[in-house]
Amino acid sequence: MPSNPEETTTPAVASWLAQWGKGPTRTRWEKVPLQIGDPAPDFELLDSSGKPRRLREAWSGKPALLLFWRHYGCSCGRERAARLRTEYEQYVEVGANVLVIGYGEPERAAAYAERNKIKCPVLCDPTFQVYRAYDLLEGKPSQIVFDATDAHLQCDAKAWKELVESRDGTERAILDNPWQLPGEFVVDKNGIVRLAYRYQYCEDWPNPLVLVAAIKEAIWETG
């Protein structure tokens, strides 16, 4: 395992470029996606300290709010982190555990959490197994880079190579999967999905009032 987050950057950039070249491959559900009333899939993942943790720990005894992140170089992820800093206490006070799931390795997850002042645990899903289990799709360019130049929107290879190079070594370095869309789920203490919110575009943040209400419902309906 790399000893510091910088050592993971090169393969993460390579992964981004490879997947950008292929384009999004999961833009449609092939089955009915995970929905309200379904059991929440449980996995064992490493947290940002490298410790193994199971998802079900988050909903043991109380509801859980699971936040699936975009890649750690995405500006919308930084904005979501800023929003979470102002919303976090609402979710805790109403009675939920909050958990972030990202796909960087523990070292990068730890650095990202510290840099963006994320208060809750961050778990690592570098193989995207949990993203797929929760049926989170990839987005088309119109969902991911809708505010970019036409050259970027049309996936011009030269334009994207220049952008990757311009961000190299910065907090906005382009890493991992460029197409992955985020999602947020409320799971009750019995492990049942109470809210399944999947972003339709990369800045499609849910209203915190909806998340709070779903957490309250999860408590009322399970006693």
97-102 and 122-124: which strand pairing?
parallel
Q: Above 60 in pLDDT, residue 1?
A: no
Judge whether 61 and 189 are in contact, CB under 8 Å: yes
Phi first, then psi: what are they for 44, rounded to 5°? -100, 125
Tell me the residue type at 156.
Answer: D
* Residue 75 pLDDT class (50, 70, 90 cuts): confident
* Residue 196, burial from CB neighbour count under 10 angstroms (0-12, 13-18, 19+): buried
C-alpha span between 38 and 78 (Å, rounded): 30
Q: What predicted TM-score, i.e. pTM, was given to this entire model?
A: 0.86
Q: Above 60 in pLDDT, residue 76?
A: yes
C-alpha span between 12 and 34 (Å, rounded): 28
* Residue 170 pLDDT class (50, 70, 90 cuts): low
**Would you say the C-alpha torsion 104, 20, 134, 92 has a positive or negative sign?**
positive
Judge whether 40 and 185 are in contact, CB under 8 Å: yes
Q: Above 50 in pLDDT, residue 202?
A: yes
SS (H, E, C) 34-58: CCCCCECCCCEEEECCCCEEEHHHC
CATH number attached to the domain at 5-23+33-222? 3.40.30.10
Confidence (pLDDT) at 9: 58
Judge whether 175 and 73 are in contact, CB under 8 Å: yes
Confidence (pLDDT) at 48: 96
Judge whether 26 and 129 are in contact, CB under 8 Å: no
**Would you say the C-alpha torsion 150, 156, 159, 161 has a positive or negative sign?**
positive
% helix, strand, coil for the chain, step of 5:
40, 15, 45
**Tens-digit pLDDT profile for residues 13-65:** 666 666 666 778 889 999 999 999 999 999 999 999 999 999 999 999 999 99
Q: What are the sequence ranges of the domains in the chain?
A: 5-23+33-222
Q: What is the mean pLDDT of residues 76-100?
A: 96
% of the chain residues with pLDDT over 90: 65
